Amino acid sequence: MTNIKDLIKVQKNFFYSGSTLPLKARKQHLKTLKRALIEMEDEFLQALHQDFQKPEFESFISETGYLIKDIDHMLSYLPDWVGRKRVSGSLLSFPSKSYIYHEPYGVCLIISPWNYPLQLAIAPAIGALAAGNTVVIKPSELAPATSAALKNLAHKYFTPEVLAVVEGAVPETQELLEQPVDYLFFTGSPQVGKIMMKAAAEQLLPLTLELGGKSPCIVDKTANLKIAAKRLAQGKFFNCGQTCIAPDYVLIDKSIQDQFVDELKKHIHTFYGDDPKKSDSYARVINHKHWQRLVGYLKDGHIEIGGEFSEAEKYIAPTVMTNVTKDSPVMQDEIFGPILPIIAYSDESEIVPFIRQYSKPLALYHFTTNKKLRESILKNVSFGGGVVNDTLEHLINPELPFGGVGVSGIGAYHGEYSFKTFSHEKSVLQKSSWFDLPLKYPPYDGKLKLLRNLFKIS
């Protein structure tokens, strides 16, 4: 089915038939999706390598394996989340019972990005299907092989009434945004997020925006520098730095900067060898447009590590830069690539004001053993989520909500938070007829004092 208007109509009708509501149907959709990911794993691994030479290990841990684990978690806990939830009542509505029903929205439109083209298309879909919705996925045209594989998954394993994939570029996205869908879930840049929010506003459409920003990494003088450098290098250069929660820049105590750079150099060499271009553990930049933007940043400071590049291969070596200031072009926007600027501070009091110069980031990382400083930064810096003494790993725990704040995003998902994101919490008060409180009815003469006593207002 290629007609977008007809597709949305078919999904609406299917949703209104009630076929997605039973727990059995929801679990079956999730099990089908899991089976599809297992049976098509080789196809997806090849597609991801074709799109930007993503290593198989990284593809498994952040795409196929990650999603299968996510489905298993959802299947385990979904029966506990689906039923109505009893909540306490009010004396003023006695005798009554109060409940919250988790109601699916209907047709959910998921617009996914190119950097994790499988995970960020399917992870929201897991929550949407678990909540009893139908799903339309619009994958990124910048990862065409993975987009085609997603289309193949939908065609082979699902009917279009339940889950469909619409390929294309801006025209198809615009047409989808004009349709009367019931929920919009977008992952991408803040710039495009504004466009999505404007489109949603035209229909007063509920939405989640998973965006990005300049996520800081703080290394203070109490940190274990060997571990910090190892974990930071892994988190920064995973997926060639094309991760929305990648450490964007490092703030480091001036007294340990040189030692830290030496440690980074050792670990980057251990990870990728003498020539990272020959490493099968290192991905490539997605396309020439992004490659040109990133290469332009290389003149912004002193290159301590890396700096080599090849346009033909869309390759940029893992690069570490110093002598960078807040006014350098590399510090104006999210880098989204394998370039790591290091900025030194002389006093810990400089850390929070520096970070606050930028919009609220999606992530924050702090390598430290200083509990007082750690708690001060966690208290005084607003960010979506973060890790102390590592990077990226808050993404793994389904018990933690994943999302941004302000410019870095609106809403959150993963685990139960995914189920709740794609569910409207419908409040219902069920009143009994065996007793009717006369206090609330006119005439009100003489009743105000009693009411004040009930409210405990003197």
Annotated active-site positions, please? 210, 244
Backbone phi, then psi, for 435, in 5-degree steps?
-145, 140
Task: Please enumerate, as own/partner, the contacts of 38-45 that have beta carbons within 8 Å and a separation of 24 or more.
Answer: 38/68, 40/149, 40/152, 40/153, 40/156, 43/149, 43/152, 44/118, 44/146, 44/149
Q: Count CA atoms within 13 Å of residue 40 on its CB side.
A: 25
343 forms bridges with which residues in the sheet?
251
C-alpha span between 158 and 33 (Å, rounded): 9
Residue 303 contacts residue 316 (beta carbons within 8 Å): no
* C-alpha to C-alpha distance for 278 and 152, rounded to whole angstroms: 32
Place of tokens 């979904």: 78
Q: Where are the alpha helices (DSSP H) in 337-411?
A: 351-356, 371-380
Q: Shortest CA distance to 344 belongs to which of 367, 322, 366? A: 322
Return the bridge partners of 374, or none: none
Integer Cα distance of 34 and 22 in angstroms: 19
- The helix or strand, by DSSP H or E, that contains position 341, with its residue range, turns out to be strand 339-345
Beta bridge partners of 111: 138, 186
Q: How many CB atoms lie within 10 A of CB 158?
A: 19
CA-CA-CA-CA dihedral for 132, 136, 142, 148, to nearest 10: 100
Cβ contacts of 202 within 8 Å, gap of 6 or more: none
Task: Dig out the tokens for 192 from the structure.
Answer: 């495009």
What length does the chain have? Answer: 458
Amino acid at 51: D
Bridge partners of 104? 423
Q: What is the DSSP letter of 277?
A: G
Q: Which of 178, 152, 200 is nearest to 7 (CA)?
A: 178
Output the CA angle 371-372-378, nearest 5 degrees. 85
To which H or E segment does residue 220 belong?
none
Q: The tokens 């109060």 sit on which residue?
A: 98
